[in-house]
Amino acid sequence: MRLLPGLMLALACAAAPARADLLAFETGRGNHNSRGSDAWFLRYQRDMLPLWESTGFIEFTGGSWDGDTTKNRVLGGGLGLRHMLTTRGYASLAAGLSWVTDRTDNLGTHPQFQWRFALGWRVGRVDLALAQIHYSNGRSVFHWKRDRPNVGDNFLTLQIGYVP
């Protein structure tokens, strides 16, 4: 059962390169509550219609992190905006929903919100980005009363991607 999310992600990524607007690998370290975690993510972004002088996109993400107290795997999806700052540089913001396999001291529920802010640079077919990723169920924002804590997991990552 633990292999199912990884298998689904591998099948999705295997079919993605011919149609993807971005297929990327991202790796980094946990920060804030997730210090000491090593993380990796696979990201697939499909461009959509322009919105507010930016490019809208839909993204699907799968990944894993492993630390002393924050071991987990995740599948998620969301919507985002990419705004060009220069002819090659951009800033992007994406938000969506995800499912983590394990409830931990940092993530008290399986369903989570995911947030990602990135500063990137596209040169030809290569996309490089520095990103901050946050997973949380929004307990502190929505003032939900839960027995389990949910302070969230956070990661500072470096992405390398391919733009077909």
pLDDT tens per residue across span 48-95: 888 788 899 999 999 999 977 668 999 999 999 999 999 999 999 999
Which tokens belong to 115?
């947030």
For residue 36, the SS3 value is: coil
pLDDT tens per residue across span 101-141: 988 777 878 899 999 999 999 999 999 999 999 998 876 55
DSSP state of 146: -
Quote the pLDDT of residue 102: 85
User: Do residues 37 and 153 lie in contact, with contact meaning Cβ atoms separated by under 8 Å?
Assistant: yes
Return d(Cα 144, Cα 142) in angstroms, integer.
5
Quote the pLDDT of residue 128: 97
User: Do residues 108 and 150 lie in contact, with contact meaning Cβ atoms separated by under 8 Å?
Assistant: yes
Quote the pLDDT of residue 109: 84
Quote the pLDDT of residue 4: 46
User: Do residues 162 and 126 lie in contact, with contact meaning Cβ atoms separated by under 8 Å?
Assistant: yes
Quote the pLDDT of residue 17: 42
Return d(Cα 128, Cα 103) in angstroms, integer.
31
Quote the pLDDT of residue 63: 95
Which tokens belong to 151?
């302070």
Residues with Cβ < 8 Å from 9, sequence gap 6 or more?
A: 42, 62, 75
Q: Strand locations in 21-152, DSSP E?
A: 22-31, 38-51, 54-66, 72-84, 89-100, 111-123, 126-136
> How big is the CA angle at 22 (ends 21 and 28), to the nearest 5 degrees?
165
* 164, pLDDT greater than 80: yes
